[in-house]
Amino acid sequence: MARNTLLIIIVTLFLLPEMAQAQRWKRFKQEVGMSLGASNFLGDLGGNSEGDGSRFGDLDLSNTRPVFGVWYKYRFHDRFAAKANLFYGRVYGTDENTPNVWRRNRNHTFRSPIIELSTQGEFYFFREKIGAAYRIKGVRGYGSTNIAGYVFGGIGVIFYDPHGKADDGSWVRLSDLNTEGQGLPGGPEDYSRFTLTFPIGFGFKYNFSREWGIAIEYGLRLTPSDYLDDSSTRYYDDDAIAAAYGELAREMSDRRLSDSRFEGNARRGNDERKDAYMFGTLSLTYRIRTATRSRIRF
């Protein structure tokens, strides 16, 4: 009897803190945050690669632009959470500095806002622990690990509005100019300035109190659109574009440095690989207490 009682006491001392920790996350199911960071564009314009190469060959750090946002997270399991994001950022690309000779000759520069509304699911491969009300030194399970790591994937919608840099240095809305012959015989269809986005990435979080923390997150955003930079298919006859849409449309449709006239349906973009962008953010986070504590405080 004494041996069984001692065994029960030992098991209780080891399991009770762990059981309490397993329930503490429920006190802070909801979390909000504000994010500030950087965006970058991965598409047809610019890039550091001499050839078409891989998607990340299009990364050019000099084209980095700011992004900020707010978000709400709901923790429905110790390892799983759902998060809703609202981001505003800008993306930019230019052929001026790329080592790719073909792209540099194309001579396009664009910028666009990105307004993203998205949701993502998160899996915590490394969980933070919700600290005890009182830390008891040397007692297993009563301390707190302040670092968490997670991966995520999701879906959303973005609004974008590409503008191109004209000869006089002004920025003009490109979707209004039908630069690839949209609406003309044999030309592509008009593109929408709304498209889906598929964020995937990872993040790490550090809690400096039970309510407050900071998080760093990287997310690649894949899209089914190839018109974030207004370049996708082939050059259209610039005389036909000028006749239908005006001289500014002609200027923005073909800006090649050499032989800028129409050349038999030459390639203007690469519609086989869709556009993407990335956000890297630093967030200030606040966990909302959603459940009252019991009288027994762990």
Is the CA virtual torsion 251, 185, 44, 175 positive or negative? positive
Q: Which residues pair with 203 in a beta bridge?
A: 150, 217
Task: Kindly calculate the radius of gyration of the chain based on its CA atoms and give it in whole angstroms.
Answer: 26
pLDDT tens, residue by residue, 233-261? 999 998 999 999 999 999 999 999 886 55
Tokens standing for residue 193: 């300035």
Q: How do the domains of the chain map onto residue ranges?
A: 2-288
**CATH among 2.60.120.260, 3.30.360.10, 2.40.160.20, 2.40.10.10 for 2-288:** 2.40.160.20
Arithmetic mean of pLDDT, 110-131: 91
What is the distance between the terminal CA atoms of the chain, rounded to a whole angstrom? 29
Looking at residue 259, what is its pLDDT? 64
Residue 116 has pLDDT above 90, yes or no: yes
- DSSP letter, residue 43: S
Of the two residues 280 and 137, the one the predictor is more confident about is 280
Burial of 159 (0-12, 13-18, 19+ CB in 10 A): middle
278 in Cβ contact with 40 (< 8 Å): yes
Looking at residue 17, what is its pLDDT? 45
Looking at residue 297, what is its pLDDT? 46
Looking at residue 296, what is its pLDDT? 43
**pTM for this structure?**
0.83
CA distances for 251 relative to 106, 108, 124, 222, 237, angstroms: 12, 11, 51, 30, 12
pLDDT tens, residue by residue, 218-231? 999 999 999 999 99
> What is the C-alpha separation between 97 and 4, in angstroms, rounded?
77
